[in-house]
Chain A
């Protein structure tokens, strides 16, 4: 395994247990977005990764399907301790949040008849929906600013297909993603010429 370690930060290799504990601490801290905490723990506190390595790992986790933070735990854990390290990272990041969310759900369902609880959940649901809309708008803004009509065309196609027509995701992506990649490839080639 030793050859897979980039000793860029000059720290001792974390053990499986340390990997679990490190990601456990990210899991319990990451209210409303885990990535900033992940960076703080990995780069600034424990020096497991350099800032560049973190960006590198992050870009890969965004490229691979699946939840980014879990993929990050897999990549970082695996880098130090192989498959066992990956499992430890995954288990670490998921353990506490899973217990907390199930406990919260169970507790709320005990009081599901209470108008206060029903009302609070209604209010929170409306806010949570707004959070997702804001995320969508924030991600679309750079495309609008750059007047990237090609990308925006595919964005609209995917909103329409999945949100408007409620088409199944798998066939929709099977058409849209290759088409979007081919269009970008063609466009970038044209501009480079």
Chain B
């Protein structure tokens, strides 16, 4: 087991809360756009895991049903077990949730405001860059061989050209890997 029961101290949990509450508040464009920042904090700043483990946790989160913020659940679990998983997930989700709750009654008025269009277009342009950066980082972390790199490239091309469900591609990758080809 990777999770060391003794390491599940209060300070681990507080670290998780501080990190993910901060990240949740700047989560423009969903969790994928946050990957570079989460990786930077978890791998480079805190040294909780290496880039390869990070990529593996992301893969599992992506293969599971449900929202892709499961990456954060897994990081919490990896670091501090069940308490860590719950604490990290709640820390990420609560600040935006409160904001959503407050804003939802005012949204009808806000959405027709003349400045909203420039706000959305401006935020969108930055978000697209964050997602592209996430893609680059993940490819770098998972390109353990030329075959792995080609598999990433092939996935991108197939998704651009067809409407195939991503789960089939993940399954295909799993089979190729299990056969020792990647």
| Chain A interfacial positions (CB closer than 8 Å to B) | 4, 27-34, 56-57, 59-71, 74-75, 78-79, 83, 86, 90, 93-94, 96-98, 100-102, 104-105, 108-109, 115-140, 143, 148, 150-160, 162-164, 166, 168-170, 173, 176-177, 180-185, 187-188
Contacts and interface: CB of A to CB of B under 8 A. Distances in A.
Contact of B135 (A132, A148, A150, A151): A132
15 contacts: A30-B66, A31-B165, A64-B100, A66-B96, A70-B67, A74-B100, A116-B178, A123-B174, A125-B138, A127-B173, A132-B35, A134-B155, A163-B129, A180-B122, A185-B118
A136 B133 CA distance: 8
Nearest to A189: B118
Interface string B60-80: 111111111110011001100
Given A64-B103, A188-B117, A109 B1 contact: yes
A163 B133 contact: yes
B42 interface: no
A118 to B, nearest CB: 8
Contacts of A100: 64-66
Contacts of B100: 60-61, 64, 66, 71, 74-75
A109 B2 contact: yes
Interface in B8-25: 22-25
B101 A86 contact: yes
Given A127-B155, A136-B131, A151 B125 contact: yes
Contacts of A62: 29
B99 A66 contact: yes
B78 to A, nearest CB: 8
B152 A138 contact: no
A61 B107 CA distance: 10
Nearest to B98: A74
Given A136-B134, A155-B125, A169 B111 contact: no
Among A56, A130, A164, max chain B CB count under 10 A is at A130
B123 A181 contact: yes
Interface in B132-182: 132-139, 141-144, 148-149, 151-156, 159-160, 165-167, 169-170, 172-182
Contacts of A168: 37, 40
A15 to B, nearest CB: 19
Contacts of B63: 104, 124, 128
A90 B97 CA distance: 9
B175 A123 contact: yes
A139 B131 contact: yes
Contacts of B97: 66, 70-71, 74, 86, 90
Interface string B40-65: 10001000000000011111111111
B122 A122 contact: no
A69 B92 CA distance: 13
Nearest to B106: A60
Contacts of A104: 60, 63-64
A128 B71 CA distance: 13
Given A169-B34, A184-B118, A4 B105 contact: yes
Contacts of A150: 125
A102 B85 contact: yes
Contacts of A157: 126, 129
B14 to A, nearest CB: 19
A121 B153 CA distance: 17
